[in-house]
Amino acid sequence: MATQRPNYSEEDLVESLKQNDRVAFEYLYDHYSGALFNVICKVLRDNEKAEDVLQDAFLKIWKSITSYDPAKGRLFTWMLNIARNSAIDAVRSEGRKPGMDDITENPDRTDQNATYQPSTSTLDLKALVDTLRPERKVLVDLVYFQGYTQEEASKELDIPLGTVKSRIRTALQDLKLYFKL
């Protein structure tokens, strides 16, 4: 994965962003907007509105970068929370619930839009990730990408809360192994 950020270490990137450096923000956008957009689209299920939300979220990231504290977590985690919360707010302002229509019937739906494939090594890894046991993957996607709470996921999929928790944990531990982190 080292090839994905050729110019910056996370530390340098954060430093440059806090200096309000244009190059750093362009790098940030180029590198992460696809992943953030994916999450926003999943929560909203409306790609046109998702564009507005991505715009709002990225401007929020730009405006509040000085308040980001690296000691509390990684930059991406912070940005993803902003993007996801913006999307959830947008959905709720329409009186909808953040939802995932038919994910239970179609667990692979989360990957249907994932056409951005930067390299073959990533492709291989993606294939590897897809070998995650589906019931775990669904849960991770549901909670992580779509802003569900674990309780909501438990209800949605009709799985006991304890099982939701343990499956999510196992899924993440599996992923950790895949990524060899």
Partner 1 sequence: MNTRDYIESGILEEYVLGAVSSQERQEVECLSKVYPEVKAELTRLEETLEQYALLHQTPVPARLKNDIFAQMTFGSIAEPQEAADIQETYVRPMPGGSTEIQPGPTAAVRPLWAMMAVAASVLLAIFAGWAAYQMSQTRAQNDQLAAEMSELRQRAEYNEALAANYRNPDVKVVRMPGLDKAPESIVVALWNQKTNDVLLDVQNLPVAPAGKQYQLWTIVDGKPVDMGMLDQEFSNRLLHMKSSSPNAVAFAITLEKEGGSPNPTMEEMYVMGKV
Binding site for partner 1 (CB under 8 A): 1, 4, 19-22, 25-26, 29, 32-35, 37-39, 41, 51, 54-55, 58-60, 62-64, 66-69, 71-74, 76-78, 80-82, 84-85, 110-111, 113-116, 122, 125-126, 129, 140, 143-145, 147, 149-150, 165-166, 168-169, 172, 175-176, 179, 181
Tabulate helix, strand, coil % of the chain (nearest 5).
75, 0, 25
Nearest distance from residue 105's CB to partner 1, in Å?
Answer: 19
Nearest distance from residue 113's CB to partner 1, in Å?
Answer: 5
Q: Report how far residue 59's alpha carbon sits from residue 82's, in angstroms, rounded to the nearest whole number.
A: 10
Q: Which of 84, 76, 102 is nearest to 4 (CA)?
A: 76
Nearest distance from residue 4's CB to partner 1, in Å?
Answer: 7
Q: Which is nearer to partner 1, 94 or 124 (CB)?
A: 124
Q: Which is nearer to partner 1, 95 or 180 (CB)?
A: 180
Nearest distance from residue 75's CB to partner 1, in Å?
Answer: 9
Helix 75-93 with 22-44: angle, nearest 10 deg: 40
Cα–Cα distances in Å, from 14 out to 19, 24, 28, 78? Answer: 9, 8, 10, 12
Q: Which is nearer to partner 1, 107 or 111 (CB)?
A: 111
- Which residues lie below 8 Å from residue 143, measured CB to CB, with a gap of 6+? 149, 150, 153, 164, 168
Nearest distance from residue 125's CB to partner 1, in Å?
Answer: 7
Q: Report how far residue 26's alpha carbon sits from residue 129's, in angstroms, rounded to the nearest whole number.
A: 29
Q: Which is nearer to partner 1, 157 or 175 (CB)?
A: 175
